[in-house]
Amino acid sequence: MPSYDSLFNAFVTILVTIDPPGLAPLFLAVTRGMNRDERRQVSVRASIIGFAVMALFAIAGAAILSVFGITLPAFRIAGGFLLFFIAFEMVFEKRQDRKEKISDVAITRDHIHNIAAFPLAIPLIAGPGAISATVLLSGSMPGLAGQASLVGIIALCLALTFAVFLLAERIDGILGHTGRSILTRLLGVILAALAVQFVADGIKAIMAT
């Protein structure tokens, strides 16, 4: 059974890479014109699809890497750099701009019936950062108990994301632009520290072999 610290780190890492508060205004943007019931249907479907994608990589992430001949330490270093880049974007508010462009494209192309899958589930929820973090964490939480714990953490994070979608209008109003900016930067700094740790662990593992 993974330790409490590893479970907490996994929870923070996945939650930060998904960034539910940052998704709230984007959810409102891509569901513009929908009533409350339609938004609820979209949020349920998006959460389920996002969970399925991330759970797949949590369970079979190592096998997927082995197919391409990629070692876990190498992926840990690459994933760490990717997470650090995402953290950099969060601190300097570049990630939000990119996400808003994705949501705008979805609206202009009239993908109203498929927005739960794209862009909400992929790539806004289960994006490259979240998938990379999931694969990295699956390597540090081996065994059936570790995989079950990681899937449970993913389910918890997606449940929180679903709750944010349901309360999107209220959360966006409470946080406001200043609140979202402060929270995004704070989460970005935390993610940057976790990314550096991933890179350090990867280098240490390669040197040991």
Q: Does the pLDDT value for residue 119 go beyond 90?
A: no
Q: Stretch 92-104: mean pLDDT, rounded?
A: 59
DSSP 8-state assignment for residue 201: H
Q: Cα(92)–Cα(89) distance, rounded to whole angstroms?
A: 5
Mean of pLDDT values over 48-69: 90
Decide if pLDDT at 105 tops 60: no
Residue 202 to residue 191: CA distance in whole angstroms = 17
Q: What is the pLDDT of residue 48?
A: 95
Give the mean pLDDT of 11-20: 91
Q: How far apart are CA 83 and CA 99, in angstroms?
A: 16
Average pLDDT over residues 54-73: 87
Q: Is the pLDDT of residue 83 over 90?
A: no
Model pTM?
A: 0.73
Instruction: Select the more confidently predicted residue: 110 or 13.
Output: 13
Instruction: Look at residue 110 in the predicted model and tell me its pLDDT.
Output: 46
Q: Confidence band (pLDDT; 50, 70, 90) for 84?
A: confident
Alpha-carbon span 78 to 132, nearest angstrom? 9
Nearest 5 degrees, angle CA 153-CA 183-CA 150?
10
Query: Per the structure block, which two tokens stand in for 105?
Result: 């494209």
Assess whether pLDDT exceeds 60 at residue 101.
no
Residue 100 pLDDT more than 70? no
Average pLDDT over residues 96-116: 55
pLDDT in tens, 129-180: 788 889 989 888 888 999 999 999 999 999 999 999 999 888 777 877 788 7
| Token reading at 182 | 């402060």
Ranges 50-59, 60-69, 127-136, most confident: 50-59
